Amino acid sequence: MIRTVNLSKKFGDLNVLNNISIDFKPGNCSLIIGASGSGKTVLLKSIVGLHEPDEGEVWYNDSLYNQLDFKKKKEIRKEIGMLFQGGALFDFATVEENVMFPMNFFTQWSREEKLERVNFCLKRVNLINANKLYPNEISGGMQKRVGIARAIALNPKYLFCDEPNSGLDPTTAILIDQLIYEITKEYNITTIVNTHDMNSVMEIGDQVGFIHKGHLVWEGDKNNILSSDNKELNNFVFASNMAKRMRDMMSEHKQ
């Protein structure tokens, strides 16, 4: 379980996060949604420790993560898998070497054992026959899959995904969502996904937190997000003309 308590972060005079308190449960796909620039990525990076919060607490089970020293923080980081917005695959390494990278550092496995694990992870994300390709030789969707394979290489307890669908076509985006959801349930991982894609929300949102201008203004799940009366959330959810028409049709149907 991950918990943030009154998490705040400033960049200069700009308050990017204001007193964010939220719990993320194991086995749940928790989504942080909000418009671009609302503070989602800063929140995610503050939780994983890539940004130091100015105030507040980040708990990983019983450990107050943001107060830990480097060595103890490192131990928790070994249990974290993270999928970055741009994939963040290592340019100098092939697909296989990318997935093997954390294994080289933190396991004593033989090369055969590592290869076996790499192939298992790549198969799990439906990526075969791409082992020897470099990141610049594969598509954006494939890069995301490699990113997921690398993130799950060491059986993480926590999985963080920063806008996993950005730059992907709708079909691939749905596949990536399903993959994240399946992996979360399969390994009982605490998964936190940053997104502004409403498709993702409706597909995998076990828990949804809506961030607006650095404030957590709404919490719920995919089943009650459409019926919320929160004004900011409704502006976000029904921003597109298609969504507005669907809402109008739904209300007509009810009447």
Partner 1 sequence: MKAALELIGKYILLMKMVFSRPEKARIFWKQFFIDAERLVLDSIPIVAVISIFIGGVIVIQTAYNIENPFIPKMYVGYMARESLVLEFCSTMIALILAGKVGSNISSEIGSMRITEQIDAMEMMGINSSSYLILPKLAATSLFNPLLMLMSFMLGLVGGGLIVIITGVVTFYDYTTGLQYAFRGYYIFYSMVKMSIFSFIITSVSAFYGYYASGGSLGVGKSSTKAIVVSSVSILVANLIITQLMLN
Binding residues for partner 1 (CB under 8 A): 48, 50, 74-75, 77-78, 80, 82, 84-86, 88-91, 101-102, 104-106, 160
Least spacing, CB of residue 37 vs partner 1, in Å: 17
DSSP class per residue in 60-78 = ETTEEGGGS-HHHHHHHHT
Q: With contact defined as beta carbons under 8 Å apart, do 57 and 6 qualify?
A: yes
Beta pairing partners, 33: 195, 210
**Residue 27, phi then psi, degrees to nearest 5:** 80, 0
For residue 49, the 8-state DSSP code is: T
* 211: three-class secondary structure by DSSP: strand
For partner 1, which is the closer residue by CB, 11 or 224?
A: 11
Least spacing, CB of residue 84 vs partner 1, in Å: 5
Amino acid symbol at 132: K
- Residues 172 and 168: their CA atoms lie apart, in Å, by 6
Tell me which residue of 229, 221, 226 sits closest to 204, measured CA to CA.
221
Q: Which tokens in the block code for residue 247?
A: 């809402």
In terms of DSSP bridges, do strands 63-64 and 80-83 run parallel, antiparallel, or are they unpaired? unpaired
Least spacing, CB of residue 30 vs partner 1, in Å: 18
For partner 1, which is the closer residue by CB, 99 or 198?
A: 99
Q: In what order do the strands lie in the sheet containing 80-83? A: 80-83, 158-162, 190-195, 29-33, 207-212, 215-220
For partner 1, which is the closer residue by CB, 96 or 232?
A: 96
Least spacing, CB of residue 159 vs partner 1, in Å: 11
For partner 1, which is the closer residue by CB, 82 or 173?
A: 82
Give residues with Cβ within 8 angstroms of 162, minimum separation 6: 41, 44, 82, 83, 84, 85, 194
Least spacing, CB of residue 236 vs partner 1, in Å: 26
Q: With contact defined as beta carbons under 8 Å apart, do 249 and 238 qualify?
A: no
For partner 1, which is the closer residue by CB, 62 or 91?
A: 91
For partner 1, which is the closer residue by CB, 75 or 116?
A: 75
Least spacing, CB of residue 3 vs partner 1, in Å: 19
Least spacing, CB of residue 78 vs partner 1, in Å: 4
For partner 1, which is the closer residue by CB, 122 or 226?
A: 122
